[in-house]
Amino acid sequence: MHDRSLIQRSGIDRRIFLKIASHAAAAAAFAPAALAAAPSAKKYEPFAMGLLIKPFPDPEPKIALVRQLGIPTCFLSLDDYIGKFTPGLVTKMRDALDKHQIVATTVEVVRPEPLKWNFLDGPSTIGIVPRAYRAARMDALKQVSDFAKQLGVDKVQTHCGFMPEDPKDPLYAETVQAIHELTLYCAGNGQSFLMETGQETPTTMLRVIKDVNHPALGVGLDTANLILYGKANPVDAVKILGPYIRAMHAKDGKWPTNPMELGQEVVIGKGEVDFAKVFTGLRAAGYKGAVSIERETSGPQQIEDVRQEKVYLEHVLAQTSNV
């Protein structure tokens, strides 16, 4: 449970704290049982290669591509399906995964719009921090949690947004409350709720984890986003967040030089991410998840880039396997 000193340090409104605390003991008690009772997530080896895919409108060819690339797992980005998570889609997605022997490790939504991926409008449009879009995005996350439960996927991820570094900012307390609600919802479906790194410092994310205080809350590490947003070196972020990291996007990038725009995402191996040190840190932290490649391009060039990135990452993983 939270102690009073933590409430004072974080500046969480007492009314909000009491609302969170009223559920905490029961949540902590049922969480392991709920996780155990959920449909079994399919097994895969720690550090198995993965690929982030957007399977709309037809999952079959995208999942087939994952198999063609020799990758055993996928990370499902499902924004285009919000409001369309039908039983038929469950069957179609499950059949495609089974046919191609691909394990879906994590699902994610970040919409509905607007979403402005920059420093000027990002704080007011991204995630569940902005009041104007919070309810709709929480609803979308609950939809995808229910969908993922039927698929047997045990991790739900999103960008929570530019979470205030000042724990006395009213938006901080509201965000903690929203994350707590989503964590409870996912735990009830036998899932972890993961906050994707990027718009906040690792220290701020750790503070949120401590304030929510629930075993189903974790971190989705995006190695490049920490650099693209100028928030932290991913090697240092692993030192801070390592025990809570349950999924990762393998992605590379360069630091921002224009204070209005994010840094540049680049092919893995061409940016600032030291993957050898990241993997070494994750191994030391006991990481059990996949290594899901995310390349933010499209078309034939994206496929070629992913092929190169897979070879690069497999080489680094082999080098660090006994470190």
Averaged pLDDT for residues 279-283:
98
254 exposure class (CB count in 10 Å sphere: 0-12, 13-18, 19+):
middle
Number of Cα atoms under 13 Å in the Cβ half of residue 281: 22
Angstrom distance (rounded) from CA 73 to CA 300:
20
Determine the residue type at 155: K
Angstrom distance (rounded) from CA 136 to CA 124:
15
Predicted pLDDT of residue 322: 83
Q: Is residue 181 part of a domain?
A: yes
Contact 128, 137 (CB under 8 A): yes
**Residue 116: which CATH number?**
3.20.20.150
**Left (φ > 0), alpha (ψ -120 to 50) or beta: where does 305 sit?**
alpha
Angstrom distance (rounded) from CA 259 to CA 184:
37
Q: What percent of the chain has pLDDT over 70?
A: 87
Report whether pLDDT(233) > 50. Answer: yes
Q: Is residue 323 part of a domain?
A: no
For residue range 239-252, list pLDDT tens digits in order. Answer: 999 999 999 999 99
As for how many domains the chain has, the answer is 1
Q: Is residue 271 part of a domain?
A: yes
Predicted pLDDT of residue 323: 66
For residue range 299-312, list pLDDT tens digits in order. Answer: 999 999 999 999 99
From residue 163, give the alpha-carbon distance in Å to each of 69, 231, 312. 37, 12, 33
pLDDT band at 41 (very low <50, low <70, confident <90, very high): confident
For residue range 165-202, list pLDDT tens digits in order. Answer: 999 999 999 999 999 999 999 999 999 999 999 999 99
For residue range 56-99, list pLDDT tens digits in order. Answer: 999 999 999 999 999 999 999 999 999 999 999 999 999 999 99
Predicted pLDDT of residue 39: 55
Cα pseudo-dihedral 206, 123, 194, 315, rounded to 10: -90
Domain that holds residue 67: 4-318
Report whether pLDDT(6) > 50. Answer: no
Report whether pLDDT(17) > 80. Answer: no
Beta carbons within 8 Å of 211's beta carbon, 6+ residues apart: 2, 6, 10, 12, 176
Report whether pLDDT(146) > 60. Answer: yes
Angstrom distance (rounded) from CA 179 to CA 160:
8
Which has the higher per-residue pLDDT, 248 or 298?
248
For residue range 123-135, list pLDDT tens digits in order. Answer: 999 999 999 999 9
Q: Is residue 109 part of a domain?
A: yes
Angstrom distance (rounded) from CA 113 to CA 199:
17
